[in-house]
Structure formats: C-alpha cells, structure tokens
C-alpha cells in the first residue's frame, strides 16, 4: 500500500510517499481502507517534536530516539471502510463505514490501517449516516476533545461560555456544542476566523490580536482555553462565582496552579486529557445526527500532497479542519 512515511523529526519535507506493507489484522483487530484523514495542529507538533517540553522526552523514547522508528506513519484520525476482520471481532463486518482515532499507534496517513475494536487508547465507531467520510474523519480530535471539555465544565443552559482558540478543530466543534446546550458563547481567535465563528453560532467574537479577553471586565461561567495561551491568573479572575476553567493544553505550572486554585477558591480548574468514553461518543453523535453540528472543512489535500497540507496547517490560517483524501492514490498523481 501507499503511505506517507515520517522519515525524520523536522520540517514537512521529511514526509515522503512510499510503498509499505499492508497490515494484516490480529484476532481483535479490523483492517480499514482509509477514505479520509486529517492534519491537525497536534500532528505538526509531533512531526517536528515541538510539543510541550514535558512530552518531548517520552515521545522520543516511544517513537525513536534519533528518528521515528517504532512509529513511521503519522495521522491520528480517519474515516473509511472495514475490509477485513480478525477472527474474534463480532462488532464490525466487512463493508461497514467507520470513523476512528488511532491513538499513539498513529498511522492514518496511509491507504490502510489495522485497529483493535476494543481499546481504551483508540476508538472505532460506525460512521454517522449524515456525514461524509471527510467530515467523520474530524470527529475524534475536534469533536471528542470539545465534548469532553464541555462535559467536564458541566455547561448549563443560559451560562456564559468563552472559548479561547475557537477557530480550529476543537474550537469549531466546541462553539456548536455549547450553543446546542443553550449557552451564550464568546469565541476568541484571530480576525480571519471571526466571520466563520459567527456562522457556526458564536454570539460574540473577540480578535485576540486586538483585545485581551481577560482585561475586558466581562465575567464568564466557563472558560475553555483550547490553546493554553491566556494568563492563568487573569483568566481565573474573569470567572463568575463557581466558574470553571478548562486547560486544554496544560503546562506543569498550570497544573500546580490549578490544584491550588481548586483548594483555595470557589472556582474550578480542570485539565484532564480527553479520552474516548462511549458516553461522550454517544452524546456527540446525538448532536451530529440531530443536525446540530456543521463540520468546518477549510481545505482538502490528496494524500500525496501531505507536506503541503502540513505547511498550510503550520501557517495558523486553518479554519476548522484540514482534510486528507486518501482514495485513489497512484504514484505521485491524485486521481479525481
């Protein structure tokens, strides 16, 4: 099969189209023919190891010290069709359309991948009928993180929710979920994303390059800082009584300050990483099936143009999601 091989830690040019062996499913695994995958901000951070410092050493130990060895194909989310099942698999059949999160196995930048059907670290779920493969591929990162953060924040109808970094994968789902739950939503991002954020339902928008939301004198019931760029102290101070502050991108110091704030104030700071709880998946799919979520797809790239897709995501201009179309890969030419 064709795959985009991650040949080194560094710039997008290290992502190269190569022929690799098609995997064979183990007893509890399915083989998926991938139709669509995505390039997230997280993929770029893993590719060149520009992750938060506390993750760099463990990731190098896991992927390979000098270059990626244990894992050589990136990509953490996908949608496609089941084409083979292991002998113990009863949940899926050949032909089933699915979406999936590959967890630390990665591997979505390829024509095929194998995934276990039951694992706390990965997710495989039937694709919603009212979504295309391209839309469904965005569910694990954007949708699952957003629903996890909003559920942890226990958002109630009528509450004021602010999402910092709202214009990306997680934020565009977050705005729509919060609106569907009856919140009044303020979306913070750069100017080029604000019109799109209004179209997906934001009641108020703030351009963070012009104005710091923590200095406006507004108070919120919930602040979700997807990007982890706002001042910790000032964000806590702009919460209402019993307000909740979600650290989507926590640092070590943020975790210590969260523990202190939780002990000493009536505010709650939460930094629990998202996992693929079935109740979160069902909650999100309920909103998707009810037509409450419109997936924002900014650009689509064929698999062969992966390096270009990474370069675009790194510009920071991405609105919502960037999708990779995997079908019909033939040498270096994309077949329409």
Indicate the helix (H) or strand (E) that contains 323.
Answer: strand 321-325
Q: Which of 248, 258, 301, 307 binds ligand NAP (CB under 6 A)?
A: 248
Please identify which residue in the block is written with the tokens 């009528």: 158
Neighbours of 65 (CB within 10 A): 9
Nearer residue to ligand NAP within complex by CB, 25 or 165: 165
Query: Residues with Cβ < 8 Å from 268, sequence gap 6 or more?
Result: 242, 243, 244, 245, 261, 262
Q: How far is the CB of 154 from ligand NAP (least distance, A)?
A: 18
Nearer residue to ligand NAP within complex by CB, 31 or 175: 175
Asked if 186 touches ligand NAP (CB under 6 A), the answer is no
Asked if 145 touches ligand NAP (CB under 6 A), the answer is yes
Nearer residue to ligand NAP within complex by CB, 82 or 258: 258
> By CB under 6 A, which span of 59-67, 119-127, 225-233, 291-299 interacts with ligand NAP?
225-233
> By CB under 6 A, which span of 222-230, 235-243, 256-264, 293-301 interacts with ligand NAP?
222-230
Residues 194-213 that bind ligand NAP (CB under 6 A): 208
Residues 279-308 that bind ligand NAP (CB under 6 A): none
Rounded to an integer, what distance in angstroms lies between the CA atom of residue 145 and that of residue 29? Answer: 24
Asked if 265 touches ligand NAP (CB under 6 A), the answer is no
Burial category of 20 from C-beta neighbours within 10 Å (exposed 0-12, middle 13-18, buried 19 and up) = middle
> By CB under 6 A, which span of 2-10, 36-44, 100-108, 197-205 interacts with ligand NAP?
36-44
Rounded to an integer, what distance in angstroms lies between the CA atom of residue 163 and that of residue 160? Answer: 10
Whole-Å CA distances, 213 to 23, 64, 207, 299: 49, 41, 9, 29
> By CB under 6 A, which span of 54-62, 88-96, 120-128, 185-193 interacts with ligand NAP?
185-193
Please identify which residue in the block is written with the tokens 């209004």: 198
> By CB under 6 A, which span of 22-30, 79-87, 223-231, 291-299 interacts with ligand NAP?
223-231
Q: List residues bridging with 323 in a β-sheet.
A: 38, 300
Q: Which of 42, 80, 103, 201 binds ligand NAP (CB under 6 A)?
A: 42
Q: In sequence order, what DSSP letters do the residues of 92-149 get, joined into one string?
A: --TT-EEEEE-GGG---SBSEEEEESS-SS-EEEEPPTTS-HHHHTTIIIIIHHHHHH
Nearer residue to ligand NAP within complex by CB, 6 or 213: 213
Task: Decide: 82 and 113 in contact? Cβ < 8 Å.
Answer: no
Q: In sequence order, what DSSP letters do the residues of 235-292 get, joined into one string?
A: HHHTEEEEEEEEESS--HHHHHHHHHHHHHSS-EEE-PPP---HHHHHHHHHHHHTT-
Q: Which of 111, 134, 159, 189 binds ligand NAP (CB under 6 A)?
A: 189
Comparing C-alpha atoms, which of 118, 14, 122, 104 is closest to residue 51?
104
> By CB under 6 A, which span of 25-33, 110-118, 163-171, 324-332 interacts with ligand NAP?
163-171
Rounded to an integer, what distance in angstroms lies between the CA atom of residue 101 and that of residue 18? Answer: 23
Q: How far is the CB of 260 from ligand NAP (least distance, A)?
A: 20
Nearer residue to ligand NAP within complex by CB, 68 or 165: 165
> By CB under 6 A, which span of 3-11, 20-28, 81-89, 167-175 interacts with ligand NAP?
167-175
Asked if 7 touches ligand NAP (CB under 6 A), the answer is no
Asked if 229 touches ligand NAP (CB under 6 A), the answer is yes
Classify the C-alpha dihedral 93-330-133-183 as positive or negative: positive
Asked if 165 touches ligand NAP (CB under 6 A), the answer is yes
Contact residues toward ligand NAP (CB under 6 A) are 40-42, 45, 141, 145, 164-165, 167-171, 188-190, 193, 208, 226-227, 229, 248-249, 273-274, 316, 318
């Amino acid at each position: 099969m064709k795959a985009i091989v991650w040949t080194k830690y560094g710039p997008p040019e290290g992502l190269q189209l190569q022929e690799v062996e098609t995997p064979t499913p183990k007893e509890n695994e399915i083989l998926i023919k991938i139709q669509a995958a995505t390039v997230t901000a997280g993929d770029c951070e893993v590719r060149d190891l520009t992750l938060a410092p506390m993750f760099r050493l463990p990731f190098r130990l896991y992927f390979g010290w000098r270059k990626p060895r244990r894992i050589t194909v990136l990509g953490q989310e996908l949608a496609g069709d089941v084409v083979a099942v292991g002998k113990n698999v009863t949940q899926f059949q050949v032909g089933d359309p699915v979406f999936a999160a590959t967890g630390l196995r990665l591997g979505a930048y390829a024509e095929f991948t194998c995934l276990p059907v039951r694992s706390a670290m990965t997710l495989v779920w039937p694709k919603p009928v009212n979504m295309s493969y391209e839309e469904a591929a965005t569910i694990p990162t954007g949708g699952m993180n957003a629903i996890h953060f909003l559920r942890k924040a226990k958002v109630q109808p009528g509450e004021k929710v602010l999402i910092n970094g709202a214009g990306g994968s997680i934020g565009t789902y977050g705005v729509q979920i919060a609106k569907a739950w009856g919140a009044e939503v303020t979306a913070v991002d750069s100017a080029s994303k604000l019109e799109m954020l209004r179209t997906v339902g934001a009641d108020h928008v703030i351009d963070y390059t012009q104005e710091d939301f923590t200095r406006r004198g507004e108070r919120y019931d919930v602040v979700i800082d997807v990007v982890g760029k706002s001042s910790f102290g000032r964000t806590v101070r702009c919460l209402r009584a019993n307000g909740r502050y979600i650290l989507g991108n926590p640092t070590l110091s943020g975790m210590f300050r969260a523990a202190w704030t939780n002990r000493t104030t009536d505010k709650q700071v939460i930094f629990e990483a998202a996992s693929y709880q079935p109740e979160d998946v069902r909650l999100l799919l309920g909103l998707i099936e009810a037509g409450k979520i419109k997936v924002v797809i900014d650009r689509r790239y064929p698999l062969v143009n992966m390096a270009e897709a990474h370069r675009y995501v790194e510009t920071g201009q991405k609105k919502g999601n960037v999708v990779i179309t995997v079908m019909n890969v033939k040498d270096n030419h994309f077949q329409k």
